[in-house]
């Protein structure tokens, strides 16, 4: 479940900082960036990543299913 994001009145997109929890209530925070700005150590994920594809068009409070390897 998405618990917070920086652009509360808009859908998640470039530059959004998204906080979410997984099914075990572990909290994560990621920033959505261009492909050239990806830095996994800083939790910067690209607009082309599977994570972004799952978050695209979502807002705070939305439930999202993300399949991870």
- What are 22-64's pLDDT values in tens digits? 888 888 899 999 999 999 999 999 988 888 888 888 877 788 8
Mean pLDDT throughout 11-16? 81
Whether the pLDDT of residue 7 is over 60: the answer is no
The 10 Å CB-count burial string (b at 16+, else e) for 27-64 is: eeebbbbeeeeeeeeeebbbbebebbeebeebebeeee
- What tokens appear for 17 in the block? 């900082």
* Alpha carbon distance, N-terminus to C-terminus of the chain: 19
| pLDDT score of 20 | 82
């Amino acid at each position: 479940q998405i618990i917070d994001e920086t652009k509360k009145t808009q859908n998640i997109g470039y530059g959004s900082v998204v906080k979410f929890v997984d099914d075990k209530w572990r909290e994560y925070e990621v920033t959505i960036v261009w492909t050239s700005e990806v830095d996994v150590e800083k939790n910067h994920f690209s607009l082309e990543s599977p994570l972004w594809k799952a978050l695209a068009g979502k807002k705070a409070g939305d439930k999202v299913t993300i399949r991870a390897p």
